[in-house]
Amino acid sequence: MVTVTRLDVPIHEGDWHDKPLRWTVRGPASEVQNFSTKKEALHWARIRRACPDFRAAVRQYLRD
């Protein structure tokens, strides 16, 4: 099961000019991906539900 939730506290990662991560996508199993926008998180969740494994999902996400 893949779920999209808003983080309670934004995570500041990357360079000073990068947007803070505010959304997380969990699943399947113990996979966790964080995104700065809800649109990106929902896009990843849709792809991850459709792909059989993480590597295939990453390839599809990079193509879109």
The model's pLDDT over 9-48, given as tens digits with 9 standing for 90+, comes to 999 998 999 999 999 999 998 999 999 999 999 999 999 9
CA atoms within 13 A on the CB side of 63: 7
Does the pLDDT at position 7 exceed 90? yes
- Mean pLDDT across 2-6: 97
Residue 55's pLDDT is what?
A: 96
Tell me the backbone φ, ψ of residue 5, rounded to 5 degrees. -140, 155
Residue 58's pLDDT is what?
A: 96
Q: How many residues does the chain have?
A: 64
Cis link prior to 52 (omega < 30° from 0)? no
The domain limits of the chain are 3-63
- What's the CA gap between 6 and 57, in Å, rounded? 21
Residue 37's pLDDT is what?
A: 97
Question: Which amino acid would we find at residue 47?
Answer: I
Given pLDDT bands bounded at 50, 70 and 90, which one contains residue 64? confident
Residue 13, both tokens: 């990662």
